[in-house]
Structure 1
Amino acid sequence: MNSKKIDNISVDCVVFGYDINAKSLNVLLIKRYLESKTTQEVLVNDHVLTGYHVHKEETLDQTATRVLKELTGLTDQYKKQFKAFGNPDRLTSKKDLLWIENEGFNSRTITIAYYFLLKTEDVDLENNPYSATWFPVTALPELGFDHEKIILEAYKDLKVKCLSEPIIFKLLPDKFTINEVQDLYQSILGIEIDNRNFRRKLINKKYIIALDEKQVGVSKKPAQLYMFSKDVYDKVFEKNYLISI
């Protein structure tokens, strides 16, 4: 047994990634698979979030950062702790109990949930040690434990947060078009946004900086590129920071 581990406290991480080409908000999941040792019958075959028990010398934030680094190799990404999940029966389905018995961990585990924001292309899936896969948040596969609930709670929080803080720019390239910002908002919020009204509101914000550059390598007319300035934003911060959608 790992003496550093707190047996009944874990951190689960919802890793959101935006695919700018597919215009899709995705969640990074890993495969959970278990066969019977005697009959080779498949006992568990689904997907889960990545999570680990908290180590005794760690803060919760440090555990979450460790989870992300082991899963993606990335550090210094936007993260938010959004909820604790401690329902006594959260890990008591038949599949979950089989998995718990095989892995030897506490069935009464309380998890602290975080979500991270990053770009899908920043994760090297080909060499990923966990065989991680991106799934659209609107088309999740069969999930183990209470991880569907955790993902949906994270998604709900993200929808609110993206309208009050400039976190969406963590999901976009450093240089982006207005249409790409609109596509991202539509992907997160699940709504259609009036293009002309959105463009007018966005380009009037001082922290959206027009660049002397346009798209390259596109078949249609190249669009103007912009960048988000955190320095300017910090100086002109308003409670409702960006737009009313």
Structure 2
Amino acid sequence: MNLNKILNLSVDCVVFGYDTNTKSLNVLLIKRYLESEKGSKILVDDYVLTGYHVYENETLDESASRVLKELTGLSNLYKKQFKAFGDPDRLKHEKDLIWVEHEKFNLRTITVAYYFLLKTEEVDLKSNKNEAKWFPIGDLPDLGFDHEQIILEAYEDLKIKCLSEPVIFELLPDKFTINEVQDLYQSILQIEIDNRNFRRKLINKKYIIPLDEKQIGVSKKPAQLYMFSKDIYDKMFQKNYLINI
């Protein structure tokens, strides 16, 4: 297999996951750490998105899927290519220059950014070799390169996307309550939604299927569970808002 890298072209992956317990939209980041040769000084200590060079025999989509699988072990997830980042100075902050020299990166690397949607519980962080960690979108750590900009632009794109397509169901368990859907919309859009209005609109959607099941293991009154039917949605899909909030 030809694994020759295109030295000035990479992909970066913004991995979004939603935690139904904390009701927070999170981003999966990996540790970037470098000490001096004698180990007496920490040169770089922050977090970055997962990403890598594109191989000569790959499409951009194939590169992004490969990088995502290497990080999470997962494939066939929702992904969207949303922008290319090519500012001449995007790798030239002081700590980034140290990292670039150590890793022999091309200073004029252009990256094509994707975002992925998955369920946080699907990722095994305990055995992750990259020291991956979830961070709330509103509480990001110190980031390398231009990755804060990439994350925030991915987030803005996701806000728009979740109003026109049912992508939020990629972030929820297969069986969910109406309140969990509402909490997720509120977390992404950073707005308050009228509960009664939202519930009425959602349960009237033919692709939201009520199940003969209720929550288990909750201290309060268990709520009705529902599931999303992609088959029904695809059959009736029209280019309009999923839910008018």
Q: TM > 0.5 between the two? A: yes
Tell me the CA shift for residue 207 of structure 1.
Answer: 0.6
When normalised by structure 2's length, the TM-score is: 0.98
Tell me the CA shift for residue 40 of structure 1.
Answer: 1.8
**CA contact under 8 A between 1:166 and 1:241: conserved in structure 2?**
no
**CA contact under 8 A between 2:10 and 2:111: conserved in structure 1?**
yes
Q: Does 1:35 align with 2:35?
A: yes
Distance 1:97 1:206, change over 3 A: same
- Report the equivalent of 2:157: 157
Q: Tell me the matched-pair count.
A: 244
Q: Which runs of 4+ in 1 moved over 6 A?
A: none
Q: Does 1:70 align with 2:70?
A: yes
Amino acid at match of 2:49: L
Distance, in Å, in 1 between the alignment partners of 2:239 and 2:21 is 31
The CA deviation string for residues 98-142 of structure 1, in whole angstroms up to 9 with x for no partner, is: 000011110110000000000110000000111100000010000
**CA contact under 8 A between 2:35 and 2:42: conserved in structure 1?**
yes
Aligned residues: CA RMSD: 1.1
- Report the equivalent of 2:82: 82
- Report the equivalent of 2:221: 221
Alignment of 1:92-171 (within 5 A): 92-171=92-171
Secondary structure in structure 1 of the residue aligned to 2:30: strand
Identity %, equivalent residues: 77
Unpaired segments ≥5 residues, structure 2 = none
**CA contact under 8 A between 1:47 and 1:143: conserved in structure 2?**
yes
**CA contact under 8 A between 1:5 and 1:55: conserved in structure 2?**
yes
- Report the equivalent of 2:189: 189
Tell me the CA shift for residue 240 of structure 1.
Answer: 1.8
- Report the equivalent of 2:59: 59
When normalised by structure 1's length, the TM-score is: 0.98
- Report the equivalent of 2:237: 237
Tell me the CA shift for residue 239 of structure 1.
Answer: 1.6
Tell me the CA shift for residue 206 of structure 1.
Answer: 0.6
Alignment of 1:189-208 (within 5 A): 189-208=189-208
**CA contact under 8 A between 1:44 and 1:99: conserved in structure 2?**
yes
Distance, in Å, in 2 between the alignment partners of 1:137 and 1:39 is 33
Q: Which stretch shows the higher mean deviation, 138-147 or 234-243?
A: 234-243
**CA contact under 8 A between 1:13 and 1:116: conserved in structure 2?**
yes
Unpaired segments ≥5 residues, structure 1 = none
The CA deviation string for residues 202-227 of structure 1, in whole angstroms up to 9 with x for no partner, is: 00111111111111111100000111
Tell me the CA shift for residue 241 of structure 1.
Answer: 4.1
- Report the equivalent of 1:5: 5
- Report the equivalent of 2:91: 91
Amino acid at match of 2:81: Q
Tell me the CA shift for residue 238 of structure 1.
Answer: 2.2
Distance, in Å, in 1 between the alignment partners of 2:128 and 2:182 is 31
The CA deviation string for residues 174-221 of structure 1, in whole angstroms up to 9 with x for no partner, is: 110000000000010111111001001100111111111111111100
Distance 1:39 1:20, change over 3 A: closer
The CA deviation string for residues 141-199 of structure 1, in whole angstroms up to 9 with x for no partner, is: 00000000000000000000000001000000111000000000001011111100100
